[in-house]
Amino acid sequence: MLDVKNLTVQYGTRKILNSVSFTVEPGQWLMIIGPNGAGKSTIINAISQGAPYSGQILFQGKNIRQYKPKELAQKIGVLSQHHTVGYDFTVEEVIRLGRYAYAPSLFSRNRDDGADKIQEAVSKTGLEPFLKQSVLTLSGGELQRTFLAQLFAQDPSLLMLDEPTNHLDLIYQKQVFALIRDWLKESGRAVVSVVHDLSLAKTYGTHAILLNKGKIFASGSISRVMEPENLNQVYGMDVPGWMREMYGQWLPREDEHENHL
């Protein structure tokens, strides 16, 4: 459904992305991984028309520059990692803006405001108790869920997430990823997300691209891309060794294991 060809983003003489090509098909959850400054977030910015780029980005066979902003928003939704809301809008007002792309024009009398989609988004994200609350009073996790609900209300077929749980507590990380996995179950949908945490990428991703200095180092199925050799070379360290050292201590010890048996 998404076909990116030779995507290049350049700021001055610095090439942030250098001829990056990849495709995303329905049902896939593509993880964009790589070290800091590899150009991960820039891919999302370019696809959402937030950064000037050269190359071609096709969505369902059509160049995304040819879509009108509202048409594009009905197809692709974006969730970024930080939100700074300027004024004290209520949670409900923020979520309802997700239906902007479907709003009837000034002169049409068709008043379908997608109340069912909004209702569904609110109940999925568990935000009912917060609807009338000002977004300025929310915690980071609640705010992120508010924008996720806006995204669900927007009802796109491709979700693009830029480190969606970067600064969230573990419980929210788990909630947000579980919600997205659930969302992906419906046919015709796909997710592209930038993640820092390789364990999250491995747990939830179906496919991945590994970026290094603006170029694709490896792409394909998650297990193939996350081969130790690839990761070690790009990150310049023994990645699996570090992961084992970090996460190994959480494994149940032998005696605990026996007790359980």
Q: Kindly tell me which of 59 and 239 has the beta carbon lying closer to another protein.
A: 59
Contacts of 197 (CB under 8 A, 6+ apart): none
Q: Kindly tell me which of 87 and 250 has the beta carbon lying closer to another protein.
A: 87
Q: Kindly tell me which of 106 and 261 has the beta carbon lying closer to another protein.
A: 106
Containing H/E element for 14? Answer: strand 14-24
DSSP single-letter state for residue 225: H
Q: Kindly tell me which of 74 and 232 has the beta carbon lying closer to another protein.
A: 74
Q: Would you say 82 and 91 are in contact if contact means Cβ atoms under 8 Å apart? A: no
Contacts of 96 (CB under 8 A, 6+ apart): 113, 118, 153
Q: Kindly tell me which of 28 and 80 has the beta carbon lying closer to another protein.
A: 80
Dihedral angle computed from the Cα positions of residues 182, 60, 42 and 99, in that order, rounded to the nearest 10 degrees: -60
Containing H/E element for 175? Answer: helix 170-184
**Least separation in angstroms between CB 65 and another protein:** 13
Q: Is 241 exposed, middle or buried (0-12, 13-18, 19+ CB in 10 A)?
A: exposed
Residue 120: closest CA among 152, 161, 154, 94: 152
Q: Would you say 16 and 28 are in contact if contact means Cβ atoms under 8 Å apart? A: no
**Least separation in angstroms between CB 94 and another protein:** 6
**Least separation in angstroms between CB 6 and another protein:** 24
- Planar angle of CA 164, 206, 144, nearest 5 degrees: 15
The residues that touch another protein, with contacts defined as CB under 8 A, are 48-50, 68-74, 77-78, 80, 83-90, 92-94, 97-98, 100-101, 103, 106, 115, 118-119, 122, 131, 147, 150, 154
Q: Kindly tell me which of 25 and 88 has the beta carbon lying closer to another protein.
A: 88
**Least separation in angstroms between CB 59 and another protein:** 14
**Least separation in angstroms between CB 87 and another protein:** 3
**Least separation in angstroms between CB 131 and another protein:** 7
